[in-house]
Amino acid sequence: MITKLNHVSIFVLNQDSAFDFYVNKLGFAVNTDAEMGPGKRWLTVNPPDQPELEISLMLIDDGMMFTSESAAAMRDLVNKGTFGFGVFQCDDLLATYEELTAKGVEFTKPPTKEFYGFEALFKDDSGNWFSLGQKK
């Protein structure tokens, strides 16, 4: 029986920039930041209240995971905002929206009451988008 999710990947265009976005803007904690040889890095972060969930900020690079052609296509898709990776939760959506906006996070949808809840949408520095909801 599967009991939990402990690793998930977000594909990013630049790990230094992703570090700045997820750590300095969103306020996530660095879980593991390891050099894996020249130019290679394993970088995972987690939301402050969820240390058991490692979000891997995975660089889209040519190599074992992607062919050169696939990597180029993937970078293009990410950059175009194709992928929505998940739903984050906060205690107070309006306050979080104001704070993240002040820090330069780009919202594609401001806090909006929907039939399924109160949500906003924002993009990371690569173009991945997320829903942000409020804890009920």
Partner 1 sequence: MDLYPKQYLYRRVVRAKLYIDENFAGPIDLSSISDEACFSKFHFMRLFKEIYGRTPHQYLTHVRVEKAREYLAAGDTVAKACYSVGFDSISSFTGLFKRRVGVTPAIYQAEKLRIKDQVAEKPLGFVPNCFAEKKGWKKDSNFGEVKTIDAGERLSE
C-alpha 56: how far from chain center: 9
11-19, 73-81, 91-99, 123-131 -> range binding partner 1 (CB under 8 A): 91-99
Contact positions with partner 1 (CB under 8 A) in 29-68: 32-38, 40, 42, 56, 58, 63-65
Q: Does residue number 92 form part of the binding site for partner 1 (CB under 8 A)? A: yes
State the Cα–Cα distance between residues 122 and 52, nearest whole angstrom: 24
- CB-CB contact of 107 with 94 (8 Å): no
Identified binder of partner 1 from the candidate list 9, 67, 68, 108, rule CB under 8 A:
9
Q: Does residue number 109 form part of the binding site for partner 1 (CB under 8 A)? A: no
14-22, 73-81, 96-104, 121-129 -> range binding partner 1 (CB under 8 A): 96-104
Nearer to partner 1, 7 or 108 (CB): 7
CA distances in angstroms from 7 to 73, 103, 116, listed in the order given: 24, 27, 27
DSSP 79-117: HTT--EEEEEEES-HHHHHHHHHHTTPEEEEEEEEETTE
Please report, as ranges, the residues that interact with partner 1 according to CB under 8 A: 7, 9, 32-38, 40, 42, 56, 58, 63-65, 91-92, 94-95, 98-99, 102, 110-111
